[in-house]
Homo-oligomer: A and B are copies of this chain.
Amino acid sequence: MSTEFRRPSGRAPEQPREIRLTRDYTRHAEGSVLVEFGDTKVLCNASVEPGVPRWLRGKGQGWVTAEYGMLPRATHTRGGREATRGKQGGRTLEIQRLIGRSLRATVNLKKLGEFTITVDCDVIQADGGTRTASITGGCVALVDAIRYLQRNKLIKGDPFKQLVSSVSVGIFRGVPVVDLDYPEDSGADTDMNVVMAEDGSLIEVQGTAEKGTFSRAELNAMLELAENAGVQLFDHQRESLGIPR
């Protein structure tokens, strides 16, 4: 790495932003977590509802899904309200499908019983990495929703399987960096979102060359960074939830 390389934030390439997880942020949801990755702030509310989608009925299992939204002025310039435009955009749908798939890896759906947990991830303030923050915070809200079901004896077993966390990595001015903020995200050559399980294995990898292409070596360097950040993210999640290491 060139000695002159500097990230806009002054962070070291392998240094994620400050992570904060605030549980019980609102009072109605069964799980409610404000997750902050630096200036990115997402409110993750997990709602428990009896019943499952039509195509799952009678199979004796539960369902976990996610919805994603961005407040109109979460960003530098005001984005239109999707409810006003009458539909969710492609980017929104793509992100909420990713969050839902990732969070399902947290849960043994067979042990969940016929309940649906919907995790709403609403971005209050955006500064890059809203989808990775949503997965990381949404996982904590989901665990709280599972605990609610157990505490109220609505289910018997323990559907919790493993923590799931996510971080972005990328190649910025030729250097692999972790947890890109908005200035990096909009200028990166390659951008990759990695979703991980506690044991270091992978749940989802989505890498895109925004300009040019990327090599297998760069891919490996990025995965290395993600793995190391994952260790810290899981620590944050465990500490927040009071789970011993």
Contacts and interface: CB of A to CB of B under 8 A. Distances in A.
B67 A81 contact: yes
B78 A72 contact: no
Contact of A105 (B45, B125, B203, B213): B213
Contacts of A101: 208
Oligomeric state, in copies? 6
- Which secondary structure characterizes the binding site on chain A? mixed
A169 interface: no
A150 interface: no
A94 interface: yes
Interface in A154-195: 192
A125 B27 contact: yes
A163 to B, nearest CB: 12
Interface string A2-33: 00000000000000000000000011110010
Interface stretch (A54-62, A82-90, A132-140, A228-236): A82-90
11 contacts: A27-B39, A43-B124, A71-B120, A78-B118, A78-B120, A86-B86, A105-B213, A199-B213, A201-B213, A204-B208, A204-B209
B87 A86 contact: yes
Interface in A41-57: 41, 43, 45, 47, 49
A28 B219 contact: no
Contact of A83 (B69, B77, B215): B69
A216 B221 CA distance: 12
Contact of A28 (B74, B87, B96, B122): B74
Contacts of A72: 45, 47, 67, 118, 120, 122
Contacts of A32: 73
Contacts of A206: 205-207
A195 to B, nearest CB: 9
A223 interface: yes
A112 B104 CA distance: 43
B28 A73 contact: yes
Nearest to A72: B120
Contacts of A241: none
A26 B74 contact: yes
